[in-house]
Amino acid sequence: MIKRAIDIALAAGEILNEKLSSGVTVEHKGRIDLVTDADRAAEEFIVQQLERLFPRHGVLGEEGTQVEGSSDYLWVIDPVDGTTNFAHGFPYFAVSLGLLRGDDVVLGVVYNPQTKECFAAEKGSGALLNGRKISVSAQSTLEQSLLATGFPYNIDTAEENNLASFARANLITQGVRSLGAASLDLCQVAAGRLDAFWERSLEPWDIAAGSIIVREAGGKVTSCQGQTFRTFGREICASNGLIHEGLVRLLSEVDR
Ligand code: IPD
Ligand code: CA
Ligand code: CA
């Protein structure tokens, strides 16, 4: 299944690259929550392929797909994670495909078609970047760590806007990046380029694939309170494992 998922992600990525060079139509779902014709075209393509290859599997997609399957497999897909970046031509966005069996994520593929980096993992088989094994960093102190986070689209009205956590973490680490594509941020943790990532107010398609890629790269994935990670739990704290406790403590000390 992983080989097929990778092929689908690569082909969907080509659709995104083509759309980017031929011109993208942007619509607003909210003040800063965008969607483009490319998001819809890529989702349509991915769903068609999944239905053809895995007719018994369910599919849940950000742009409205809800296919009920007749097995316990569910694909959770984001055709463009990082749509704001995509709409601006900032080359940090990805096709994200996660596969759940029951509550368990068993496979994940995250592909950035601009950098041609394809991250993939299958439960129990390790994590790969373009076919080569990757692993999380060995950084053991928060003070020496580089982190990333993200903010909700309703940052202007939400009480839990993550700004207090962002400020606090910036003061005691080497920096906190906000790059705009949660699935790829998780892959940077898996590849050891970032030491941790956390975000609240996320959707399952933002984190399903990335969560297994971090785990299979040797990292730790929980809620922001350090509890069991749930794909539909709306938040994630992912790290190399070594700084996890410190980061969870930091997040619990501040008023979001
Ligand atoms: C968004 C990105 C972003 C995160 C948002 C997500 P989208 O997904 O992952 O990094 O901060 O919470 O909604 O809308 O670009 O698919
Ligand atoms: Ca997303
Ligand atoms: Ca999206």
Q: Report the separation in Å between the CA atom of 235 and the middle of ligand 1, taken as the mean of its atom positions.
A: 12
Question: Which residue's CA is minimally distant from atom 11 of ligand 1?
Answer: 150
Residue nearest (by alpha carbon) to ligand 1 atom 2: 181
Q: Please, what are the domains in the chain?
A: 2-133 (3.30.540.10), 142-255 (3.40.190.80)
Nearest atom in ligand 1 to the alpha carbon of residue 179 is 10
Cα of 82 vs centre of ligand 3, distance in Å, is 6
Start-end of H helices in 104-148: none
d(CA 98, CA 115): 20
The pLDDT tens digits of the residues spanning 183-222 come to 999 999 999 999 999 999 999 999 999 999 999 999 999 9
How much of the chain, in percent, has pLDDT values that exceed 70? 100
How far apart are the CA of 51 and the centre of ligand 1, in A?
25
Distances 153 to 31, 59, 83, 237 between C-alpha atoms, Å: 8, 24, 12, 19
Question: What count of Cα atoms within 13 Å lies in the side-chain half-sphere of residue 143?
Answer: 0
pLDDT score recorded for residue 34: 82
- Strands 94-101, 73-81: pairing is antiparallel
| pLDDT greater than 80 at residue 256 | no
Which residues does ligand 1 sit against, CB inside 6 Å? 62, 78, 80-84, 150-152, 180-182, 199, 202, 206
- Rounded CA gap, 222 and 187, in Å? 15
Above 90 in pLDDT, residue 178? yes
pLDDT given for residue 153 in this prediction: 86
For 76-98, what is each residue's pLDDT tens digit? 999 999 999 999 999 999 999 99
Hey, what's the torsion of the CAs at 24, 177, 215, 229, to 10 degrees? -90
